Amino acid sequence: MGKEPGKQRLLGGRYRLMSPLGRDGAGIMWRAHDLRLRRDVSIKEVQPPFRGGGADLGHARRRALREARSAGRLSHPAVISVHDLLEDRGRLWIVMEMLEALTLRETVGHLGHLPVRWTAWIGFQLLAGLRHAHEAGVLHRDINPGNILLTGERVVLTDFGIAALNGDPGVSTTVPINCSAAYVAPERLRGMPASPAADLWSFGASLYFAVEGSAPYPESGALSALERAAAGEPAPPVRAGTLRPVLEGLLRRDPAERVTADQAARLLSQVLRTEGMVVGPSRLPVTRLPPGPFTM
């Protein structure tokens, strides 16, 4: 990092890097402290991909701007809050709220699979944030269990790095290589543009993973993207119980036959009431947690 031993790096004269939190496909996440507002934040150090033997700084800049602008125009408890975007010594840094959380993927990895009531609660909260994004014209395009954070009180959708504005003709229809085909809607694998319905398919595939303990299609190795696009319906869920109609409605291959966000919200509300949980209007976050913690 180019800093003196024992001395923490200061970004933009304001954010002091403290320790790395982890790495995703686009960069390194850091714990940092905002000296101006005296609060801890998380900061993504956007790392450029290497193309033709060199770093593609233009691609990294476009991705960082897209992520910051897409998430920055949203304000919802189920969407990560972006505070700032800065460039320091030739690198881009995205400043976000600090969350002590596990991803849905990590949580299922610890527990094997989640009970129906937890999965329905996660889905109900996450769907509220996704509907908010769609109403603001933002398509996420990369919903998967690794981009869903669980804090014990909130369910938060993060990583808007390949998000796009709905209807933007300049957005590529190509599925990025780092997207898992298991969570990409069939029509996108066939080259069709992203849409709210495609986000809903990915949302349904993530809920399937939560309650079943595995993705609706193999996550790696067994199927290429083209084979996945031509594959039949996913295996019927066996642990989903009252969630089964929700999953089957969201995972329909034809986007015209897929349930809408409003329909999915009503179905999830019914599941939660059947499970004995009190829920508010479908556009508001649930305020009562399900019985028992689901973070480790």
- Over residues 48-99, the pLDDT tens digits come to 655 445 455 676 677 677 767 777 778 899 998 888 888 887 788 889 899 9
pLDDT at 152: 82
Same fold, 10-97 and 102-274: no
Phi, psi angles (nearest 5°) of residue 261: -60, -40
Question: Distance between CA atoms of 34 and 41, rounded to whole angstroms?
Answer: 7
Beta bridge partners of 28: 23, 45
Domain locations in the chain as residue ranges: 10-97, 102-274
**Burial of 219 per CB tally in 10 Å (0-12, 13-18, 19+):** middle
Average pLDDT, the chain: 81
- Domain 10-97: top CATH class: alpha beta
Judge: domain 102-274, CATH 2.60.120.260. no
Q: How confident is the model at residue 294 (pLDDT cuts 50, 70, 90)?
A: very low
| Catalytic residue check, 142 | yes
Q: Which residue has the higher pLDDT, 110 or 53?
A: 110
Strands of the chain, DSSP E? 10-11, 15-24, 27-34, 39-46, 50-51, 54-55, 82-88, 91-97, 102-103, 138-139, 148-150, 155-157, 164-165
3-state secondary structure of 159: coil
Which of the four pLDDT bands, split at 50, 70 and 90, describes residue 8?
confident
Output the pLDDT for position 283. 53
* Dihedral sign, Cα of residue 267, residue 263, residue 292, residue 113: positive
What DSSP character marks residue 274? Answer: H
pTM > 0.85: yes or no: no
First to last CA, the chain: 32
Residue 286 has pLDDT above 50, yes or no: no
For residue 119 the two structure tokens come to 């999965």
Query: 288: pLDDT confidence band, cut at 50, 70 and 90?
Result: very low
Per annotation, catalytic residue among 24, 88, 142, 262: 142
* pLDDT score for 289: 47
